Chain A
Amino acid sequence: MTDLIALPVVLPLIAAGLSMVLMGRLRAQRVLALAASLSTLVVAIILLVRVESEGAAATVLGDWPVPAGIALVADRLSASLLLIAEVMLLGVLLYAMGQRNTDQDARFFHPTYHVLAAGVALSFLTGDLFTLFVGFEVMLMASYVLITVGARGPRIRSTMTYVVVNLLASTLFLTMVGLVYASAGTVNLADLAGRLETIPPATRSLLGAMTLIVFGVKAAVFPLFSWLPDSYPTAPTPVTAIFAGLMTKVGVYAILRTRTLLFPDEGASALILVVAGLTMAVGVLGAIAQNEVKRLLSFHIVSQIGYMVMGIGLFTLAGIAGTILFVIHQIVVKTTLFLVGGLVETRAGTGSLKRVGGLARSSPLIALLFAPAALSLAGLPPFSGFLAKFALVRAGLDAGQWVIVGVSLAVSLLTFFSMAKIWAGVFWGEPDAPAERPGASPTRTMVGATAGLVVVGLVIALAGGPIYAFAERAAADLLDPAGYIGVVMGR
């Protein structure tokens, strides 16, 4: 089993290389992409099943002795996030193949997409702070290329912001790794967990604050989020969808991992809760002000990150479990919503709320796909968003944090309002102004891929009980990291 852990990183990288060789032969590239994505998905399923039955497992690349060698660890949290990420990568890949001008025009779409998959898997699986940096960089490098594919004027500008902000955060990350090594003498997460307790508290607090800032930029929390709504909406739909689903959540995963494993008793909970509340509120208010589907949804990414950070701020078993459930739910729902947004843009020729209208009558299928995902985002029962928010709110009430619970409920209401704004603008009524270019009907593959992800979202809602029980077990592992440390250090 331990040999399998490296596969989700290695398989996409091999596929990326082969895909480069096959450049220009689209059909072969597509077959390869599907084969790689499906096999990685199978590996992720096996990993999750094994981790659930046998507990966490670790492997060290090249069989170096532990603190020096690069450890890859699969525990409940990383295995479950890896699985859901692989499902999204497959769904969006299908959508991209169905959409005209995505992988036909950009011959390097497939190789870059494989690299993105490898970076995401490496970030989830690594047990080493520096390798986490490398995983982020691999993922970001691929994202820089994907977001600039065929870029013209305005997109170059927003991409520039995206690259500069992320590069700056990466530099800070590298500095943090250097300071961690200077003060604790290791970058292995499991080894660090023990050694950080022995360094002076002031140094530890500084390192903790630096991790929060670095991963705060990556996760787009208030006040470090402004690069996100600026750059995401400009990319082609499949690219935006996979970014929205995965990239910020990798940042949240990194916050979750470092908070629980490295800095469990830093007393930053109050600060994190304030940040969570502001992230929710500012994100949703930004969303309400928008008149374009993808821009509106981009602000919602920020708003929903606030909920995940709220669970981390509560730092109770129920809070962490709520965060894990919320991340799983968000990855699916956000990706789905952006894909539906892409369907709307394809069908109507624009994503502007003023220029689209009456799609419920002309394309009832798109409306049918939008409704469950939007209601789930707003947190209405019986969808997965309701379960995840219910878990977080109950955790907040148990912890006696009334303010953040109140903010989260109010933000839910505003989220519902902004979803209603999309519904009223896009699916009801008539357009205020005609679209500049005529729409085309989306291909069956695009609709099929979106429908598949909607079904995944419904499955999460139906299996809410078992998934929450799983999230609780994962949270218990995080709050008592002895098992994680034992698995890595025992190698």
Chain B
Amino acid sequence: MTLTVALLAGVVFGVGTYLILQRTLSRVLIGLAMLGHGANLVLLAASGRAGRPPLAGGDPAGLADPLPQALMLTAIVITFGVLVFLAALAYRSWRLTGSDDVEDDLEDRRIAALHPHRAEEAA
């Protein structure tokens, strides 16, 4: 069971990594959400074998480990807050520039403009 969770975490991490390498802010946003879920799955896998009783029932020593789940709850809240902030920022960026793409770095553009061919293109 833990292997399933571990594999799932790997796939989620892979999808997230692919998405944050995209140029579009909305995809980057979803990618970061995926990575957050991946991290939470790792925490879930850290809490041990699945199927153990959470609160009562059976042997008290065989109860599920509550600590990683408490950590997960905190982490979910934090990731959610930051993602909402980022979504607002992406929306503001879209309102200001009219495009959802990540812009080039100013410095990069300045250096690229030094190249003769690029300077002609820009002109």
Contacts and interface: CB of A to CB of B under 8 A. Distances in A.
A175 interface: yes
Most buried by A among B20, B36, B71, B90: B71
A170 B43 CA distance: 14
B120 interface: no
Interface stretch (A153-161, A201-209, A267-275, A380-388): A153-161
Contacts of B26: none
Interface string A142-184: 0011001001111011011001100110111011011101100
A134 B78 CA distance: 8
Given A141-B82, A156-B92, A157-B93, A171 B36 contact: yes
Given A160-B93, A164-B20, A182-B46, A144 B82 contact: yes
Instruction: Name the prevailing secondary structure of the B interface residues.
Output: helix
A156 B68 contact: no
A198 to B, nearest CB: 17
A148 B89 contact: yes
B67 A68 contact: yes
B30 interface: no
Most buried by B among A130, A133, A154: A130
Contact of B93 (A140, A156, A181): A156
B106 interface: yes
A178 B78 contact: no
B96 A153 contact: yes
Contacts of B89: 148, 156, 159-160, 163
A174 B75 contact: yes
A230 interface: yes
Given A137-B82, A163-B82, A175-B38, A156 B43 contact: no
Interface residues of A, number: 34
A302 B86 CA distance: 25
Given A160-B90, A164-B28, A181 B68 contact: yes
A445 B79 CA distance: 38
Interface string B28-64: 1000100110111011011000000000000000000
B85 A141 contact: yes
Contacts of B42: 174-175, 178-179, 182
Nearest to A226: B105
B86 A178 contact: no
B97 interface: yes
Contacts of A140: 82
Contacts of A179: 42, 46
Contacts of B74: 130, 134
A179 B39 CA distance: 10
A187 interface: yes
Given A167-B32, A168-B32, A177-B71, A230 B20 contact: no
A287 to B, nearest CB: 13
Contacts of B67: 68, 181, 187
A144 B90 CA distance: 13
Contacts of B75: 133, 174
Contact of B45 (A130, A133, A178): A178
Contacts of A171: 32, 35-36, 38-39, 79
A443 to B, nearest CB: 31
Interface string A95-118: 000000000000000000000000
Given A163-B82, A181-B71, A187-B71, A174 B28 contact: no
B96 A152 contact: yes
Interface of B: 20, 25, 28, 32, 35-36, 38-40, 42-43, 45-46, 67-68, 71, 74-75, 78-79, 81-83, 85-86, 89-90, 92-93, 96-97, 102-103, 105-107
20 contacts: A140-B82, A141-B78, A144-B82, A151-B92, A153-B96, A154-B106, A156-B89, A157-B93, A157-B103, A159-B89, A160-B89, A163-B89, A164-B28, A167-B83, A171-B36, A175-B42, A178-B39, A181-B43, A181-B71, A230-B107
Given A156-B97, A160-B86, A174-B36, 12 more contacts: A68-B67, A156-B89, A156-B93, A160-B89, A160-B102, A164-B28, A164-B32, A175-B38, A178-B71, A182-B45, A182-B46, A187-B67
Q: Would you list the 7 A-B pairs with minimal beta carbon distance, nearest first?
A: A182-B46, A178-B42, A174-B39, A178-B43, A175-B39, A181-B46, A171-B35
Interface of A: 68, 130, 133-134, 137, 140-141, 144-145, 148, 151-154, 156-157, 159-160, 163-164, 167-168, 170-172, 174-175, 177-179, 181-182, 187, 230
